[in-house]
Structure 1
Amino acid sequence: MRPTRFIPGLLAAAALLTLAACGGGGDSSDVTINLSNDRGSIQRNPPTQLASLTAAQFTAQLRGSAQGQQLLQLAGVNLADPAATLPCGLDLRYIQYGTVGGAGEKTNATGALLIPTGGTGCSGARPIVLHAHGTTTAKDYNIALLGSTTNAAGGEAGLIAALYAAQGMIVVAPNYAGYENSALSYHPYLNADQQSKDMIDALSAGRQAVAKIANGTSDSGKLLITGYSQGAHVAMATAKALRLAGQPVTAVAGGSGPYALAKFADAIFGGSPIVGGTLFAPLLTTSWKRSYGDIYQAAGDVYNTAYATGIETLVPSTLTQQALFTTGKLPQAALFDTDAAAFGLASASFQPLFGAPGSGLIKTTYANAVLADAAANPCNAASPAACVTNHPLRARAKQNDLRGGWAPAFPVFMCGGANDPTVFYVNTQLQAAWFGTLPLPTGTVTTLDLETAPTGGTDPFAAAKVGFQTAIAGITGGATAVAQNYHATVAPFCTASTAGFFRSVLAATP
C-alpha cells in the first residue's frame, strides 16, 4: 500500500537516466525462447538489455539534479567530493516469466533484473535482493523502465538501483501478475500464497538469466528479500513460503507492511479508515473475489451505487489516480458512510475519511456486517489462527495474516513510522510481538520506528531517523498534507535502512 507519490522529492531522479544512450539489447546470440508460462520459466533468455551504465555514468547523471543528489546521499555518496561515485555500474534487463494467478490459473508476469558491474565487490559471486514493490493502481507499472519520466515505477526503480544494485547486489524486481504485459485480468492483491509464488517464480527466472549472461557476475546463493508497504507483506509471505519449503533465505526486511491483516481489517472497519483506502479497497475485494469466490455475491453488496458498476475491472487502471477521483469512479477520501453503526471514531483526524450516507465507497450494510462479526468474534490473540469468524472478508484477512504457522531461521528487519495513517505501525508491533512468542535466537528480529530519537553514536539508524524527521517537518500544508504524504516519506528512509541492515547481515554471514 502506498499513496500517490512513492518518494517525495525523489521521483524526478528517474528522469536523469538516459537509457537510450547506454542500452542496446545485447546478447543476441544463443537466445532461448519459452512461451509455456510454466511456473518459473523465463520467456527470453538472456533477457532484453535495456541499459548498461558504469558507476561513473550513473553517478554523474544523478549528480545533475537536486533530486538525484538526495538519492546519492541516501546511498552514502559524499557529494562534497567530486570524484566520489556509487560503487558499481548496472546491467539492466527486462524479464518475462511464467507464474500463476490467485486461483492457480497459469499466466505470465514481467519485471526487472539489475546486475551490478565493475570491479571488486561488483562482479563475481553476488547476493540477490528479491524486491517487492508497493501498491499501485497504474496498470503499466514497470520497474524495468529505470529512465522513464512518465511511468509510475520510475522513482522506485531509481531507489533500488542506487541502494542495492549499485552497491553490488543483484536485484530481481517483479512487476507482479496483473500489471504491465501480464495477461492476467486482475492483480492478486494481498493474496499471500499467490504473491509469494509470483516472487519465487520471478526469482527462478532471474537466476536463469544471471546464469546465462556472461558478464562476470554470478549468483552467490545468498538471498535477501524485501519490499515496502504491500511489498513488505509480499516479502514476508515469500520468506514464509521459502522457509516452509526448506529453501535458504539469508534475511528478510519489510517497510511499513500490513502483516497483521486480521487485526488491521478490524481496525479499519472499526472506525479507523486509512489514507488511500478508497484506492486499496477495490484492489483487495477483486483480488479475494477472484481468488476465493466468497467475498460478495455482487459488487453492489459491498459498494455504494455510485461506484459499484465497473469497479471489479477498475484497478489496476490506465487512468491516473487523480483521474479515478475526478471522473467520479472512486471517492478521494470517504471510505465509509457516517451512518455505519457503532463506528465511534478513534479520533477527529479520521472524520475526513467518512462521507454522508450513500457517498462513501463501502456500503453501510456491508460495513455493519463486518462490524457485527467482529463484535461477536473478536480477534485479540497473538496469532489469528485462534480467531473465529463468520464473515468472509474477515476469514480471508485471517488467512493472509502473516502471524502463525512458521518460524524464521534468518534475521528479520521491520521498519516504519509510528504515525503512519496508511499502514498503521501496529502491524509491525503485532508481527514483532508474535515473533516474540517463538523460541528464536536473541537478535533475530529488529524493528525500527523512524519517529524515535537517535540513541547516540552507536545507533546504526540515526541518519535515517534524522533524515525522516527533517523531511516530515518540511512538508507544508498542515496536518492534511502530512497525512497524505507520510507513508510515502517513510519509504526511502526505510529502504536505506534496509540496505544497511542487509550489508550488516552479509558481513556476518560466511
Structure 2
Amino acid sequence: MKTMYLLGAVAAASLLVACGGDSADNLGVVDNTPARGALIQSPPPRTAFFTAGDFAAKLNASANGRNLLAVAGTPKCGVDVQYIKYGTVGGAGEATDATGALMTPSGGPDCTGSRPIVLYAHGTTTVKSYNLANLLDETSAAYSEAALIAAVYAAQGFIVVAPNYAGYDASKLAYHPYLNADQESKDMMDALSAARKALPGLIQPVKDNGKLFITGYSQGGHVAMATHKAMQAAGQTVTASAPMSGPYALAAFGDAVYYGNVNLGSTLFTPLLINSYQKAYGNIYSQLTDIYEPAYASGIDTLLPTDTPLSSLLAPGGKLPQTALFSRTPPTAPAGSPPSLQPTLNAISPPTTPPELAPLFALGFGTSNLITNQSRLNYLLDALANPDGAVPKLTNALPPANPANPMRVAAKKNDLRNWTPTRPVLLCAGSGDPTVFYNVNTQLMQGFWSSPSPAAPAAGLLTVLNVDSAPTGASDPYAAAKAGFAQAKAGTALAAVAAGASDGGASAVVQAYHGGLVPPFCNAAARGFFQQVTASGL
C-alpha cells in the first residue's frame, strides 16, 4: 500500500552535473505501435550514472542516506539507470504502454559480465508522475524508493528491472489497474521482456545470467507474488521470490476492512481499488453514488493517480476524507434480518477489540465519510451470510466459496491463495503493520501454504520473516534485520518524544511503520535470501 520511504534529500549539486543522463534528442529507434513486451525506444536513454564511490558519496551526504547505507552496505558497483518504455495491456486487456527503470551495475569484478536480475514491484502511490528511473531529482515522489532499490540491489551487483506500471508516468492508460493480479503480472513480465531486449545495446552492456529474482513491497508484494505465480504457470524461469508486506489474501483483507478494521490510508486505497475493478469487470457500480457519498462521488473515478499533493486531496473540504472511510452511524439492518445482525453492525462501527487497535480502527469512522452506509451494508450482508449473522473469523485458510457482492467477487478473483510455488519464497513483513495487516495477509498466506497438499510447497521452499520480532538465536540468518528494525523503531519513537510527543512516540511509529520502517530491512533480507538461494544451488 502507501510507500513513503524516509530517506530524504541526499545528493550534492556537483554530482547532479557529473552524473547526468543522455540528451533527450538521442531517440535511437522508436516503435510507436508496440506489441506486449516490445521496447519502444531502443536503446533506452540513460538517465543517471554513478561510480560506486559517487553513489556512496551521494548517500553519505545526509543522515538518512547514511542510514540507508548502514542497511544496504557500501556500494561495490557503480549504477547506471536507463528509462525504458514498453508495450503492455490495461485491466480490461486493452493495448497500452508503460515505463520503468532499468538499473545496471558496473565497475568491479562482481558488477560486470553476466549478472542476475531482480524484477522489482513498487508500492502504492497516488502520484501520477511516479518514475523510478529518476534518480537525480531528490524532490520527485519516486526518488526514495529508487535510491533504496539502487543501493540494495544494483550497487551490489544485480540488474534491476522496476516498472512504473501502466497508468503512471508517461503511460497512455487513463487509470491504474490497482491490485489486478492478471494485469499487473503481465505488466511486470512485459517490462522484463523489454529490459532484456535493451541489455545488449546499453552504453555499458551487461548480460542476463538466467537467474531471476522477483520482489516488491506493499502493493508490489501482491504484484510480485502474482508475477511469480503467472511465470510459473507459463513455464518461465523464476529462481526465487520475496514478496514483502503485500495484501496477498485480498478477500480476507477486504472483509476485515469492511468489518471495521480500517487500515491506515484506506481513503486512498479504496478509490484506486474500486476504479481498477470497475474498469476491469464493469459491474462494481452503476453510478458513483452507489458506492460513494455525494460529497466525494463527482470525478472520483478519474481522480487517482494524480499529481495533486496529498495535502490538498485530504485537506478539509478536499476531494477525499483524511481517514473516515465509513460512517460513525452504523448501517441499519434490513427488515426480517436475524435479531443478532443489528447488534453486530453496531459493534463493528467501529469495533473496540482488540483494544490496542481500537484507536486505529476508530480513525476510519466519521461524519464526512467516503463510502455510503448502504454500500457497506451490501458488502456486509454478503460477508455475513450465515444462519445467525455473526461476524465470521478472518483466519480461514481459503477465500470465501461463493461471494455474490461484486467487490467481494473481484477480491476473490485477485486473492492469491490459489497456487503453490515450486521455487523458494520469502515472505517478509512486520507484525505491527497498520496498513497491510500481518495477520490477514502474511499469516493467512503462510496458513494456506501450510495446509495439506496440493497447497503446501515442498519442504524448505517457504520462509516467513517477521522483522518486528526478536532474533531466535545466534544462528538466526535474519538477526541483523530484526535488530536493525527494533533500533529504527525505537529511534523513531525517541525522535517524536524529543519533538514534544506525549504518547511516547507511538503515533509516530504507526505513521512510519509501513512506509518507512519496514522497507529497508525487508529489502536487505530479500537480497540476503536471493544470495543464499544462489549459493545453495537451488
Contact 1:129 1:223 in 2 (8 A): yes
**Deviation by residue 1:415-471 (Cα, 9 ceiling, x = unmatched):** 111111100002001111112223422210101111210122211211211121122
Distance 1:16 1:382, change over 3 A: farther
Aligned to 1:428: 442
Q: Distance in 1 between matches of 2:38 and 2:17?
A: 28
2:457 to 440, 447, 456: 440
Q: In the alignment, is residue 323 of structure 1 matched against residue 300 of structure 2?
A: no
**Deviation by residue 1:161-199 (Cα, 9 ceiling, x = unmatched):** 010000000000000000010000000000000000000
Structure 1: which amino acid aligns with 2:511? Q
Q: In the alignment, is residue 413 of structure 1 matched against residue 426 of structure 2?
A: yes
**Deviation by residue 1:322-373 (Cα, 9 ceiling, x = unmatched):** 110115111111111112331520342235324444x111111101111110
**Deviation by residue 1:373-396 (Cα, 9 ceiling, x = unmatched):** 000066864232x61111000000
Q: 1:451-470 residue pairs with structure 2 within 5 A?
A: 451-470=468-487
Distance 1:380 1:56, change over 3 A: closer
Query: Which moved further from structure 2: 457-466 or 177-186?
Result: 457-466
SS in 1 for 2:422: coil
Distance 1:349 1:268, change over 3 A: same
Aligned to 1:134: 123
SS in 2 for 1:246: coil
Distance 1:389 1:275, change over 3 A: same
| Structure 2 residue ranges without an equivalent (≥5) | 332-344, 387-391
SS in 2 for 1:376: coil
Q: In the alignment, is residue 233 of structure 1 matched against residue 231 of structure 2?
A: no
Contact 1:20 1:51 in 2 (8 A): no
1:144 to 128, 133, 150: 133
Q: Distance in 1 between matches of 2:268 and 2:239?
A: 34
Q: CA deviation at 1:16?
A: 7.6
**Deviation by residue 1:274-333 (Cα, 9 ceiling, x = unmatched):** 000001111000110011111111111111111111110111011111110115111111
Structure 2: which amino acid aligns with 1:399? K
Query: Which moved further from structure 2: 450-459 or 359-368?
Result: 450-459
Distance 1:140 1:381, change over 3 A: same
2:489 to 451, 472, 476: 472
State, as a whole percentage, how many aligned pairs show the same letter: 51
Aligned to 2:329: 339
TM-score, length of structure 2 as denominator length: 0.89
Q: In the alignment, is residue 107 of structure 1 matched against residue 96 of structure 2?
A: yes
Contact 1:16 1:147 in 2 (8 A): no
Q: Distance in 1 between matches of 2:483 and 2:38?
A: 44
Aligned to 1:368: 377
SS in 2 for 1:252: strand
Aligned to 2:413: 399
Contact 1:255 1:494 in 2 (8 A): yes
Contact 2:8 2:65 in 1 (8 A): no
Aligned to 2:360: 350
Aligned to 2:111: 122
Structure 1: which amino acid aligns with 2:40? Q
SS in 1 for 2:80: strand
Contact 1:55 1:166 in 2 (8 A): yes
How many residue pairs end up in the alignment? 496
Structure 1: which amino acid aligns with 2:535? A
Contact 2:471 2:478 in 1 (8 A): yes
SS in 2 for 1:280: helix
Aligned to 1:481: 508
Q: CA deviation at 1:211?
A: 2.5
| Structure 1 residue ranges without an equivalent (≥5) | 78-85
Contact 1:15 1:149 in 2 (8 A): no
2:82 to 84, 88, 93: 93
SS in 2 for 1:12: coil
Aligned to 1:2: 2
Q: Distance in 1 between matches of 2:330 and 2:283?
A: 22
Aligned to 1:204: 193
Aligned to 1:271: 260
Alignment RMSD: 1.9
Distance 1:69 1:221, change over 3 A: same
SS in 2 for 1:469: helix
SS in 1 for 2:123: coil
2:179 to 176, 190, 193: 190
SS in 2 for 1:13: coil
SS in 2 for 1:196: helix
Q: Distance in 2 between matches of 1:32 and 1:138?
A: 29
Aligned to 1:245: 234
Structure 1: which amino acid aligns with 2:231? L
Aligned to 2:530: 502
Q: Distance in 2 between matches of 1:354 and 1:262?
A: 19
**Deviation by residue 1:93-149 (Cα, 9 ceiling, x = unmatched):** 000111000001111100100010012110111010000000000010000011212
Structure 1: which amino acid aligns with 2:372? K
Structure 1: which amino acid aligns with 2:20? G
Distance 1:300 1:419, change over 3 A: same
SS in 1 for 2:169: coil
Contact 2:114 2:206 in 1 (8 A): yes
Contact 2:10 2:60 in 1 (8 A): no
